[in-house]
């Protein structure tokens, strides 16, 4: 009999896993379960390329239509209700679907601020294609919509950049600066300047204390008594991993569904991948949860590979992130630490910030520059992070010394 | 027979690196390997139309600057997800310090 694989979640992690399994030609049957009606679309363009009065930026994750296979059954718009780990079944729509291997790729959902919980007003989040449609519909009701964005993280900033030409935008960040949890000051300052050039008004240390909603507008009040009226407010204040299904099934959680180096959960024959899982970082063993495109894809492929071969292999991915805002590209690799030694390398309009541990080994890097101009350096750094060798601060600091030379002499 | 067109000066391309060139409105990528040999491919990644020139060359591999798709730039072979479509490659030679590519698909 074919091996039965169930994948819960049909975004990048789940789809990458399903496609790899189908392409392997192995005798298996896959059931793909999604609570969303829309499946297999790419999420990054939703915040990076959303424009009023233009087509929704829908990019398929399956352009070659691998998912049309007869060996795949899709339940879209049907949330999995329960995992029975004893009898190895997933329940949905009142039926139990048996599995030999289960892959949980439930992702994360947008966090909501408590102050907005009672609001009936047009306050939206941006995570799914349905969210993007709702935002676009709202925007198209006005010629020059007034948009309030809550949260100066990537989602909020990318949306601000996408909409800056067609909307008037106020962006509110509770922290003292933008992107404070993920990027060094010198990079977030460049980001803030670029947004100001585009007439996006950025308010830091901004705490929303009251929201008054009406049919087509929403009033925000800040702790310093300032008041604003908007046609639409979008919240981008982080994400919460979707772990409830796993928790109810008795799986161990750790800021996400806990998995080992093989991405196996604490339950027999169940893996967890992508934004919902907390896994040990290959280089340090630190348990981390990563919300990133590449992490989702690589973990999906990794679990598929193990199911295909039947052999356990360690997941060795290094976290990598990117953001596009206007003409600026931001990329990061590794996993930053607040107490790390930070070294700056400035080269014209490009900036790189290296983070070193106590032994001067590279643990993380962040870069900003026009277009993809820092991509090459970030990729080299990714290899340096993997090598875990001590580096010279002077060399890293000196933009005349080619990073590739540092990599070659380190290897 | 294709047409041989001057793409760039050989000194413009570092060893184990690449540059972007535009010829007759089309983008190409010109590579030099560690042994001083030159290669040419189409200019964009086959995944999402990103210019490869900002990517990283290591050995025979070019890694796309965006989604980390990898190709063997000497053969054009796509080396795994997210890239599944091979890069087009073009014959390439150096004459009098100029890199020439032959504009016919191989």
Q: How far is B105 from chain A (nearest CA, A)?
A: 23
CB-CB: which of B55, B80, B82 is closest to A376? B55
Q: Which residues of B touch A19 (CB under 8 A)?
A: 81
CA-to-CA distance for A401 and A396, rounded, in angstroms?
8
Q: Which tokens hold the place of A120?
A: 């009936």
**How wide is the angle at C-alpha A171 spanned by C-alphas A168 and A177, nearest 5°?**
145
Prediction pTM value: 0.94
Is residue B59 within 8 Å of B72, Cβ to Cβ? no
A 367-406 → B contacts, CB under 8 A: 371-373, 375-376, 379-380, 404
- Taking a C-beta distance cutoff of 8 angstroms, is the pair A90, A223 a contact? no
Chain B CB contacts of A369 below 8 Å: none
Q: Most B CBs within 10 Å: which of A370, A373, A404, as the mutation test of the B interface?
A: A404
Question: Across-strand partners of A30?
Answer: A5, A72
* Nearest alpha carbon to residue A104 among A43, A41, A35: A35
CA separation for the pair A251, A259 (Å, rounded): 10
Kindly state whether B81 is in contact with chain A, defined as any CB-CB distance less than 8 angstroms: yes
For B:20-79, CB contacts with A below 8 A are: 48, 50-51, 54-56, 63, 65-68
Q: Using CB atoms, which residue from B50, B63, B81 is nearest to A379?
A: B63
- Tell me whether residue B54 is exposed, middle or buried, using C-beta atoms within 10 angstroms of its C-beta: 0 to 12, 13 to 18, 19 or more: buried
Restricting to A residues 6-35, those with a Cβ less than 8 Å away from any Cβ of B are: 16, 19-20
In tens digits, chain A (411 residues) has pLDDT values of: 899 999 999 999 999 999 999 999 999 999 999 999 999 999 999 999 999 889 999 999 998 899 999 999 999 999 999 999 999 999 998 899 999 999 999 999 999 988 877 656 678 999 999 999 999 999 999 888 999 999 999 999 999 999 999 999 999 999 999 998 888 888 999 999 999 999 999 999 999 999 888 878 899 999 999 999 999 999 999 999 999 999 999 999 999 999 999 999 999 999 999 999 999 999 999 999 999 999 999 999 999 999 999 999 999 999 999 999 999 999 999 999 989 999 999 999 999 999 999 999 999 999 999 999 999 999 999 999 999 999 999 999 999 999 999 998 886
Q: Which residues, in sequence order, are CB contacts of A201 under 8 Å at separation 6+? A: A169, A170, A171
d(CA A20, CA A7): 12
* Cα-based angle A134, A154, A245 (whole degrees, multiple of 5): 70
Chain A residues in contact with B45 (beta carbon < 8 A): none
> Which of the residues B34, B57, B65 would you substitute to probe the A interface, choosing the one with the greatest number of A C-beta atoms within 10 Å?
B65
**Burial degree of B89 (CB within 10 A; 0-12, 13-18, 19+):** buried
A-B contacts (CB, under 8 Å): 38
Is residue A212 within 8 A of residue A122, CB to CB? The reply is no
How far is residue A88 from each of residues A4, A84, A265, measured CA to CA in Å? 10, 5, 14
């Amino acid at each position: 009999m074919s091996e039965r694989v169930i994948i819960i979640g049909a975004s990048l992690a789940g789809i990458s896993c399903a496609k790899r399994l189908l392409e392997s030609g192995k005798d298996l049957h896959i059931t793909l379960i999604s609570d969303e009606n829309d499946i297999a679309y790419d999420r990054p363009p939703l915040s990076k390329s959303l424009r009023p009065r233009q087509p929704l930026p829908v990019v398929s994750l399956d352009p070659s239509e691998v998912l049309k296979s007869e060996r795949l059954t899709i339940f879209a718009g049907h949330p999995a209700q329960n995992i029975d780990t004893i009898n190895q079944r997933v329940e949905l729509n009142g039926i139990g679907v048996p599995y030999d291997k289960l892959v949980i790729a439930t992702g994360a959902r947008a966090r909501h601020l408590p102050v907005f919980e009672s609001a009936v007003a047009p306050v939206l989040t941006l995570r799914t294609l349905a969210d993007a449609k709702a935002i676009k519909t709202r925007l198209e009701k006005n010629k020059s919509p007034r948009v309030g964005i809550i949260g100066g993280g990537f989602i909020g900033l990318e949306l601000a950049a996408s909409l800056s030409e067609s909307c008037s935008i106020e962006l509110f960040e509770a922290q003292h600066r933008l992107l404070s949890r993920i990027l060094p000051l010198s990079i977030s300052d460049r980001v803030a300047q670029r947004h100001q050039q585009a007439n996006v008004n950025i308010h830091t240390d901004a705490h929303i204390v009251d929201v008054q909603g009406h049919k087509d507008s929403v009033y925000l009040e800040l702790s310093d008594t300032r008041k604003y009226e908007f046609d639409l407010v979008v919240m981008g204040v982080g994400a919460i991993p979707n772990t409830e299904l796993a928790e109810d099934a008795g799986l161990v959680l750790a800021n996400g569904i806990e998995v080992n180096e093989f991405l196996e959960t604490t339950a027999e024959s169940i893996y967890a991948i992508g934004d919902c899982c907390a896994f040990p970082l290959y280089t340090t063993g630190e348990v981390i949860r990563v919300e990133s495109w590449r992490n989702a894809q690589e973990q999906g492929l990794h679990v598929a590979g193990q199911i295909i071969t039947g052999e356990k292999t360690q997941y060795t991915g290094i976290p990598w992130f990117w953001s596009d805002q206007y003409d600026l590209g931001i990329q990061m690799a590794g996993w930053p630490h607040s107490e790390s030694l930070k070294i700056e390398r400035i080269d014209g309009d490009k900036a790189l910030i290296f983070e070193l541990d106590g032994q001067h080994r590279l643990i993380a890097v962040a870069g900003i520059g026009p277009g993809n101009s820092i991509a090459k350096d970030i990729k080299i750094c990714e290899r340096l992070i993997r090598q875990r060798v001590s580096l010279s601060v002077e060399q890293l600091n000196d933009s005349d010394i080619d990073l590739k030379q540092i990599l070659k002499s380190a290897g | 027979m294709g047409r041989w067109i001057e793409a760039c000066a050989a000194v413009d391309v570092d060893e184990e690196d690449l540059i972007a060139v535009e010829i007759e409105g089309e983008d190409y990528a010109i590579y030099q390997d560690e042994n001083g040999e030159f290669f040419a491919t189409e200019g964009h990644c086959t995944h999402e139309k990103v210019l490869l020139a900002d990517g990283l060359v290591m050995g025979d591999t070019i890694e796309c600057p965006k989604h980390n798709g990898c190709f063997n730039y000497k053969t054009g072979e796509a080396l795994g997800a997210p890239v599944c479509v091979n890069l087009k490659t073009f014959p390439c030679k150096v004459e009098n310090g100029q890199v020439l590519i032959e504009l016919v698909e191989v």
